[in-house]
Structure 1
Amino acid sequence: MDIKTASALRRLRLVSAPEAVSFLLLLLCSILKRTTDFNAVPVMGMVHGVLFVLYVVLWALAWYRAKWTLGRGALYAVLSVLPTGGFFAERMLRREAESEIIAARARQEGVVA
């Protein structure tokens, strides 16, 4: 894995958890809006919208750089629209990056991985 691919995966991983948290907070604010006088939906909606657009842009870049299959790219796209999907995406991306680092180190040392 080259440095640009690793960077693209890292950026996507770093934005996936905050995007999931903002989604959950938006759902909570929506419930509070319906049940109380508290209305933070416009603010949380904007925060979540910005993070979601950032996730989609970084997802497309990571898909291009990592040359994911259609299924792998679609998996990360579906995870972005599920309330807790960003947490799973972050964990999967971390594992993927770690396995790539281990494989790269093994290739460097001359061990076939």
Structure 2
Amino acid sequence: MINFFRLVSLLEGISYILLLFIAVPIKYLQGNPEYVKMLGMPHGLLFVGYIVLAIMLKYELNWNGKTFGIVSLLSILPFGTFFVGRYLKKAEA
């Protein structure tokens, strides 16, 4: 399940970057909200999946509050989810 979580974190990060740095500027600079509509739903689903998987892994792997907090915080920082796999490997060691 941890490998699936890493995949979801990567996809969530990509969708967040596309939304923040491509879709939102197009919406506000060119007045075209279509890209936000197109990318918003997949990003939202990936974000919810990320959080649900993080909660499941918290109990499955007995994460302490700090580990869960950092994994959760990384989900809202741009580029943060790209570091989740590395952080978890470091935390496991």
- Shorter-chain TM-score: which interval? 0.7 to 0.9
Please identify runs of 4+ aligned residues in structure 1 that moved more than 3 A. 96-99
The separation in 2 between residues aligned to 1:52 and 1:97, in whole angstroms, is 22
Note if 1:30 corresponds to 2:24: yes
When normalised by structure 1's length, the TM-score is: 0.73
Q: Secondary structure of the residue that 1:81 maps to in structure 2?
A: coil
Q: Where do 5+ consecutive residues of structure 1 fail to align?
A: 1-6, 100-113
Q: Give the SS at the match of 2:75.
A: helix
Gaps of 5+ in 2: none
With the length of structure 2 as denominator, give the TM-score of the two structures. 0.87
Partner deviation per Cα, 1:86-107 (whole Å, 9 max, x = no partner): 10112223x25985xxxxxxxx
Question: Which of the two has higher C-alpha Rg?
Answer: 1
| Residue matched to 2:38 | 43
- The residue correspondences of 1:46-85 to structure 2 (distance < 5 A) are 46-85=41-80
Q: How large is the Cα RMSD of the aligned pairs?
A: 1.8
